[in-house]
């Protein structure tokens, strides 16, 4: 492994949203601050649902039979075919489905037991699941080039320290195509991190929700941990990342084809059953259709990726021009901005931490801009996730025009939206 600069001390987050078990409001310990209690919305693609998916959903609307816990055979077979096309073979008995990634991840964490490790920052949906189960969650620093995957040396040091303090690290949750940083981890880093995790006896949950949203799929190499460590990785995918609308919640998990994997799947199904976390039958039918990837679906994926690549790149340029920092977005429909270099100007406006930054940017942008504290980042760090989906248009006609335009940035509604976006940051220069 190649050493990278890092902070070797992972931070526990077992109780509150700011780490070290402390639940604080913006002005000190113990103060409640309501908005922290609610997760930010999934980044909106700003695009209408595909007619084919709507048709499948509508055709199944009269079916009153519930899907079984973990999803029916049709949905699980479609998920197997989806993964097989990505080099991950499997059978339906190794798959489970749930109404959204939160319920499915809760079941996975409960099934494995022990403490949870995750990168800093991480998706907002991860931390609450460990909290609900009373599990300590330790954040591990990521390398400079990307988010989503922990620095291997920081991971090893965190595992050693947690065990020395009496902890039981059992799980590593990571995302190769990452929310919130919108980066894609290089294969070398993925391999090193996974080798380190498996050597320490950790099971890996690989959240691959955003793998189908790569901005330049032919220039970006995405390596799933399940390709390297098939017996030690459970793959998790929320279809709202690239296949279905967020309003139709469904997520699928692919368990290792081992005896231990079967045990963990059975335990996960127990949790989903206890929660009543069943996928609605019409949604399951639409999800299965999307997972089979007919041309309508794959065409939309390609169009959306091209559009978001251009929109996100323009938003990234605007953030950098104002003096802020952000890694170049490579996937998804957002970017993760660090406004630390603008701290003085923000302080003049009463913004001194990420909660206040969230309120300030949400007001200025007219759209949710969740602060870094929601993603496990330090409260004092002035970071926020900026959605780019709303920049494609405010009406269905505008969004459709953006999707098919050869030069979407030249469309008046897109140019105006980007100008307003840039203005929110220009005033901080």
- Lowest pLDDT segment from 53-57, 200-204, 236-240, 245-249: 245-249
Average pLDDT over residues 29-39: 42
Q: Which two tokens stand for residue 79?
A: 């998920």
Residue 11 confidence (pLDDT) above 60: no
Give the model confidence (pLDDT) of 107-126 as tens digits.
999 999 899 999 999 999 99
The C-alpha atoms of residue 93 and residue 58 are separated, in whole angstroms, by 28
pLDDT of residue 31: 31
3-state secondary structure of 293: coil
pLDDT of residue 284: 98
Give the model confidence (pLDDT) of 248-266 as tens digits.
999 999 999 999 999 999 9
Is 257 within 8 Å of 94 (Cβ atoms)? Answer: yes
Q: Which two tokens stand for residue 227?
A: 């390709």
The C-alpha atoms of residue 36 and residue 165 are separated, in whole angstroms, by 29
The single-letter DSSP state of residue 163 is H
Give the model confidence (pLDDT) of 270-310 as tens digits.
999 999 999 999 999 999 999 999 999 999 999 999 999 99
Instruction: Characterize the bridge pairing of strands 169-174 and 115-120.
Output: parallel
Closest CA relative to residue 180, chosen from 347, 341, 368: 368
The C-alpha atoms of residue 122 and residue 142 are separated, in whole angstroms, by 10
Q: Which two tokens stand for residue 287?
A: 């999800």
Q: Which two tokens stand for residue 352?
A: 């001194």
pLDDT of residue 167: 96
pLDDT of residue 43: 77
The C-alpha atoms of residue 80 and residue 171 are separated, in whole angstroms, by 24
Residue 65 binned pLDDT confidence (cut-offs 50, 70, 90): confident
The number of C-alpha atoms within 13 Å of 428 and in the hemisphere containing its C-beta is: 29
Is 261 within 8 Å of 234 (Cβ atoms)? Answer: yes
The alpha-helical segments, DSSP class H, found in 173-329 are: 187-199, 225-228, 259-275, 281-291, 295-321
3-state secondary structure of 247: coil
pTM summary value = 0.90
| Residue located via tokens 């499948």 | 56
């Amino acid at each position: 492994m190649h050493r990278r600069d890092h902070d070797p001390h992972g931070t526990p987050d077992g109780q509150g949203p700011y780490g070290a078990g402390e639940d604080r409001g913006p002005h000190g310990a113990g103060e409640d601050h309501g908005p922290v209690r609610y997760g930010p919305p999934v980044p909106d693609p700003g695009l209408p649902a595909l007619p084919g998916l709507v048709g499948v959903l509508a055709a199944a609307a009269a079916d009153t039979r519930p899907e079984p816990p973990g999803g029916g055979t049709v949905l699980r077979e479609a998920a197997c075919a989806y993964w097989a096309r990505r080099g991950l073979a499997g059978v339906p008995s190794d798959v489970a489905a749930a109404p959204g990634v939160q319920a499915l991840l809760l079941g996975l964490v409960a099934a494995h037991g022990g403490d949870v490790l995750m990168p800093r920052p991480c998706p907002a949906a991860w931390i609450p699941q460990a909290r609900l189960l009373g599990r300590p969650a330790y954040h591990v620093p990521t390398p400079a080039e990307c988010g989503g995957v922990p620095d291997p040396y920081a991971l090893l040091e965190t595992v050693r320290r947690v065990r020395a303090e009496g902890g039981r690290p059992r799980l590593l949750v990571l995302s190769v195509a990452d929310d919130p940083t919108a980066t894609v981890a290089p294969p070398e880093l993925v391999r090193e991190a996974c080798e380190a995790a498996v050597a320490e006896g950790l099971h890996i949950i690989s959240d691959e929700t955003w793998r189908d949203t790569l901005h330049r799929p032919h220039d970006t190499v995405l390596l799933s941990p399940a390709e390297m460590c098939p017996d030690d990785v459970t793959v998790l995918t929320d279809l709202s990342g690239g296949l279905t609308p967020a309003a139709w919640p469904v997520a699928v998990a692919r368990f290792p084809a081992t005896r231990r994997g079967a045990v963990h799947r059975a335990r996960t199904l127990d949790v989903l059953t206890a929660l009543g976390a069943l996928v609605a039958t019409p949604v399951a039918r639409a999800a299965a259709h999307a997972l089979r990837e007919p041309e309508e679906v794959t065409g939309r994926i390609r169009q959306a990726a091209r559009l978001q690549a251009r929109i996100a790149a323009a938003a990234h340029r605007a953030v950098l021009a104002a003096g802020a920092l952000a890694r170049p977005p490579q996937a998804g429909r957002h970017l993760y901005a660090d406004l630390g270099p603008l701290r003085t100007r923000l302080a003049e406006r009463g913004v001194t931490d990420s909660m206040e930054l969230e309120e300030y940017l949400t007001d200025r942008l007219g759209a949710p801009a969740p602060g870094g504290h929601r993603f496990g980042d330090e409260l004092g760090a002035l970071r926020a996730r900026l959605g780019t989906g709303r920049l494609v248009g405010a009406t269905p006609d505008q969004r459709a025009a953006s999707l098919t335009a050869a030069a979407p940035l030249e469309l008046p509604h897109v140019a105006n939206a980007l100008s307003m976006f840039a203005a929110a940051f220009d005033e901080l220069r």
